[in-house]
Amino acid sequence: MSSSAGANGAPVKSTGLHVGEPAPGVKKVDPIIVADGIKRQFGGLTAVDVEHLEIPRGAITALIGPNGAGKTTLFNLLTGFDKPNEGTWTFDGQSISGVPAFRVARKGQVRTFQLTKALGLLTVLDNMKLGAKGQSGESLARALFPWFWRKEEEAIEERALDLLARFKLDGKKDDYAASLSGGQRKLLEMARALMSEPTLVMLDEPMAGVNPALTQSLLDHILNLKKEGMTVLFVEHDMHMVRHIADWVVVMAEGRVVAEGDPHEVMANPAVIDAYLGSHHDQDLGEPDTDVVTAIKELAHDDADESKH
């Protein structure tokens, strides 16, 4: 367990992030992202319709919701990978509405993908080096003359090796990224994102397809990001993980933010249960989705566990 763990083994949670009662669109003390009136329609379907949303700085925020709630679409919009029909949003006080993805990344808001995008036929080390920002050797004119960028390249390599060692991938540095396992690719993608020294790290389902042995180390890495002063926003289905590491939870359903709050309170919110089970969940409409029921039961169980401490 990392040193960010509290006395009882649970990570230290950031509190006092919001102003007033937790409700959808509640004001934050120090928001890093402020989004207003974001709407994205695919034909007749409104995938995202968020009136107001603030993401607190220096904390770990989870974005949860049932499949098709618009979480990834919102991610794509905030990172410039998709353009909304309407809406404005700022990052660190600067407007980044309509700014292309690569500029958003340069401002310090870096993302990973739900389907891991390791660059297969590049070595692990090259994957890492690619993450570094503002390399002069990446300009065509200077690329031809190594003496312009050799020193910088050495510094980048040192930083990359350091990060790889932290993520326990240093033994693989000369292998093609394609030879890594699914979980290792997730680690590599996260490490690569860190090479750009971001202020906000956006992780799209960091736990999807990761075997349980790696889960703990991934969780620790995410907690470490916060400890180093970065803000984390992640999409996740694994409620256990959300409860464990998130300081703040935003719940989406059918494109809207239906609830916000700290993880324990928000799970008990009727709007959240409605979002996952439908508003008629107490009426017998046949067999519900067993996965969701298990997840909810686990949560209730967790809550009971923790209240005993």
Partner 1 sequence: MIDWLLLFSNAAQEIISPTTAAYALAALGLAIHFGFTGLLNFGQAGFMALGAYGYAIATLTFGFPVWGAILFGIGASIVFALILGVPTLRLRADYLAIVTIAAAEILRLLFTTNTFEPVTGSANGLQGYKGGFEELNPIPEGTYGFGPWVYNEYDWWVRIFGWGLVALAALITWRLMSSPWGRVIKGIREDEDAVRALGKNVYFYKMQSLIIGGVFGSLAGMIFILPRAVVPSNYQTSLTFFIYAILLLGGAATVLGPILGSVIFWVLLSFFSGFIARAVEAGWLPFMSSVQAGQLRFILVGIAIMVIVIYRPQGILGNKKELAFVK
- Residue for token digits 């059918």? 254
Q: How far is the CB of 168 from partner 1 (least distance, A)?
A: 21
Long-range pairs of 276-279 with CB within 8 A, sequence gap ≥ 24 = 276/66
Q: How far is the CB of 155 from partner 1 (least distance, A)?
A: 12
What lies within 8 Å, CB to CB, of 120 at 6+ separation is 176, 177, 178
**Helical packing angle, 150-166 and 182-194, nearest 10°:** 130
Task: Tell me whether residue 140 or residue 304 sits nearer to partner 1 (CB atom).
Answer: 140
Which residues, numbered 199-228, are part of the site for partner 1 (CB under 8 A)? none
Task: Tell me whether residue 74 or residue 299 sits nearer to partner 1 (CB atom).
Answer: 74
User: Binding to partner 1 by residue 105, rule CB under 8 A?
Assistant: yes
User: Binding to partner 1 by residue 111, rule CB under 8 A?
Assistant: yes
User: Binding to partner 1 by residue 297, rule CB under 8 A?
Assistant: no
What lies within 8 Å, CB to CB, of 305 at 6+ separation is none
What would you report as the CA-atom Rg of the chain, rounded to the nearest whole angstrom?
20
Alpha carbon distances (Å) from 280 to 152, 225, 268, 283: 60, 40, 16, 5
Site string for partner 1, 112-151 (x = CB under 8 A): xx---xxxxxx---xx-xxx-x-x-xxxx--xx-x--x--
Task: Tell me whether residue 163 or residue 292 sits nearer to partner 1 (CB atom).
Answer: 163
Alpha carbon distances (Å) from 6 to 12, 14, 43, 244, 264: 5, 12, 48, 12, 17
User: Binding to partner 1 by residue 99, rule CB under 8 A?
Assistant: no
**Residues 46/255, Cβ–Cβ less than 8 Å:** yes
Tokens of 169: 């991938």
Tokens of 110: 């870096």
Q: How far is the CB of 142 from partner 1 (least distance, A)?
A: 8
> What letter represents residue 66's amino acid?
P
Tokens of 43: 């034909």
> Which residue among 4, 14, 196, 224 contacts partner 1 (CB under 8 A)?
196
Site string for partner 1, 50-89 (x = CB under 8 A): -----------------------------x-x--------
Q: How far is the CB of 127 from partner 1 (least distance, A)?
A: 8
User: Binding to partner 1 by residue 158, rule CB under 8 A?
Assistant: no
Nearest to 60 by CA among 202, 254, 211, 267: 202
| SS3 state of residue 54 | strand
Task: Tell me whether residue 177 or residue 266 sits nearer to partner 1 (CB atom).
Answer: 177
Task: Tell me whether residue 60 or residue 118 sits nearer to partner 1 (CB atom).
Answer: 118
- Give the residues lining the site for partner 1 (CB under 8 A): 79, 81, 100-103, 105-106, 110-113, 117-122, 126-127, 129-131, 133, 135, 137-140, 143-144, 146, 149, 153, 176, 178-179, 189, 192-193, 195-196
